[in-house]
Amino acid sequence: MSSPPPLPLEGRAAVVTGAGRGLGRAEALELARLGAAVVVNDYGQPGRDGSGAASAGPAEEVAAEIRAEGGRAVAHTGDVADFEQARALVAAAVQEFGTLDILVNNAGILRDRMVFSMSEEEWDSVIRVHLKGHFNTVRFAAAHWRERSKAAGGPVYGRIVNTSSEAFLAGSAGQPNYAAAKGGIVGLTTSTALALAKYGVTANVICPRARTRMTEDVFAGFARPEDGLDPLAPEHVAPLVGYLASPAAARINGQLLVVHGGMVAVVERPRVAAKFDSKQDTFTYDELDAVLTPHYAERPQGETFAAAEVLGLRRG
């Protein structure tokens, strides 16, 4: 009797940040289901704005859930926005499982406010957790893979999946800090993808739409179905993360994908919508007025980034 084929991530080790609840939890469980050993990271603060005392409870519960299903998992409760704690998180995976192969960044908080009312602290705190938190873990994982590649004399296995948002793609009036952080994460990911490709490492970024603690206001008007899986369940997002973490996705690098409710959209890089050339050495005000004013007069007032039109997206 033949043995079953190996799982796609068997023998791999993953770090998932923000994995105590919501999307991160679903992603950690999916990676474990596919065979990966998982470091479940969550700072454990109860407030979605990052308020309240840190707790080991959420991370410990998810790690215990994975172990109860026969998988391997440990909890880590460090703050990924702290440079040294992010270093310790990457080191914990190597120490516990002997390797780090997959990094999934999902940790974040919200401090929503209109731009004309936002405080400096509300801006800094969201940029710190989302953008700096992503950078910190990527920085130490990238260094780990680079050293492994130099020691091996060739490419190694490494996968990064970062988390952006449709708030970056389509705009979100009350979230200038969040939208800016999520846009920065896309830039961080594409830069990382170019830097690490020669070492065998891929870096991609997703814009998920799911009903979680972070989005409870956004989807308050969308009722959960009485039967079947909620179209907004995080479980719709997790399989894409598992796939991007797998050997099958080796050719996918530096890509942005939107995912929700059984749908995956591959987002192209921005393209030039129109081009105007000066008829002299440089543009004058009058010449710019003559070409740009008519061009924008043909577009609806207040229309913004074209990705929102192409994808038919709303805030998520």
Q: Which residues are catalytic?
A: 165, 178, 182
CA of 181: how far to CAs of 36, 59, 172, in Å?
Answer: 29, 24, 12
Provide the H-helix boundaries in 114-237: 120-126, 133-152, 166-170, 176-196
In this structure, what token pair is assigned to residue 194? Answer: 């170019």
- Of 42, 17, 26, nearest to 239 (Cα)? 26
Q: Which residues pair with 204 in a beta bridge?
A: 161
Helix axes 133-152, 83-97, angle to 10 degrees: 40
Structure-derived torsion over alpha carbons of residues 127, 129, 133, 135, reported in degrees to the nearest 10? 0
The single-letter code of the amino acid at 181 is A
Task: Check if the beta carbon of residue 78 is closer than 8 Å to that of residue 88.
Answer: yes
- Of 17, 146, 143, 25, nearest to 82 (Cα)? 17
Hunting for tokens 């914990």 — which residue is that?
92
Task: Check if the beta carbon of residue 9 is closer than 8 Å to that of residue 242.
Answer: yes
